[in-house]
Amino acid sequence: MLEGFVPYKKEVIDSYRAKGWWLGLTLADIFDRAVAKYPDQEAVVDGKSRYTFSQLKEKVNRLAIALTNEGIGKGDGVLIQLPNWAEIVIAYYAVQKVGAMSLPLVPRHSVKEIGYLAKLINAKGWIVPWQYKKIEYEPIIEGVTKENPQLTRIILAGENVPSGQRLANSTSP
């Protein structure tokens, strides 16, 4: 839990469960139910990709395995800084599946803003494009990781990742 987090009181939790408002499901569970119900229906569309629910689940599971292999798991903080691409949906649900805590960032956040948020949640991972429009992320990544030694897992997304490019402890799925 984050410092300062105040959990719901037991009587509130019991009331919500009795009313059927809380089902005891994670967002990853709800995603898996949608996949089971609509496997061949389109789930995500962006400017370059179209995925059915079953195709999306395959990609989510592959990234979840990669996150686990990178040492990201339950309770770890993960920054997700992606534009409106299908990868943002994949990243979000993969982070949910491993039980990590996601913090979405807009593509134009600066080193100072990202660094502050990385410290706030003690982020261990960061899913970020190598490049988006005119934004080159390499200097941003270097600036943020310099001030956040706990941020050891950088996962590069998108089409413009140079072949073989790896930052310190990074991976590109």
Q: Alpha-carbon distance 156 to 127, whole Å?
A: 6
For the stretch 130-141, pLDDT in tens is 889 999 899 999
Q: How confident is the model at residue 3 (pLDDT cuts 50, 70, 90)?
A: confident
Query: What b/e string do you get for 99-120 counting C-beta neighbours within 10 Å, with b at 16 or more?
Result: ebbbbebeeebebeebbebbee
For residue 129, the cross-strand partners are 157
Domain boundaries in the chain? 25-171
What is the full DSSP assignment across 119-163?
HHHTEEEEEEESEETTEE-HHHHHHHHHH-TT--EEEEESS-PPT
What are the residue ranges of helices labelled H in the chain? 10-18, 27-37, 53-69, 86-97, 111-121, 138-147
- Residue 46's Cβ-count burial label (10 Å; 0-12, 13-18, 19+) is middle
What is the full DSSP assignment across 34-51?
HHHH-TTSEEEE-SS-EE
For the stretch 46-68, pLDDT in tens is 999 999 999 999 999 999 999 99
For residue 132, the cross-strand partners are 135
Q: Alpha-carbon distance 127 to 82, whole Å?
A: 7
pTM equals 0.85
Q: Alpha-carbon distance 122 to 103, whole Å?
A: 11
pLDDT of residue 20: 94
Instruction: Say what percent of the chain tops pLDDT 70.
Output: 91
DSSP 8-class letter at 76? -
Q: Alpha-carbon distance 130 to 136, whole Å?
A: 7
Pick the CATH number of 25-171 from 3.40.50.980, 3.30.1360.40, 3.20.20.80, 3.30.413.10: 3.40.50.980
pLDDT at residue 101 is higher than 60: yes
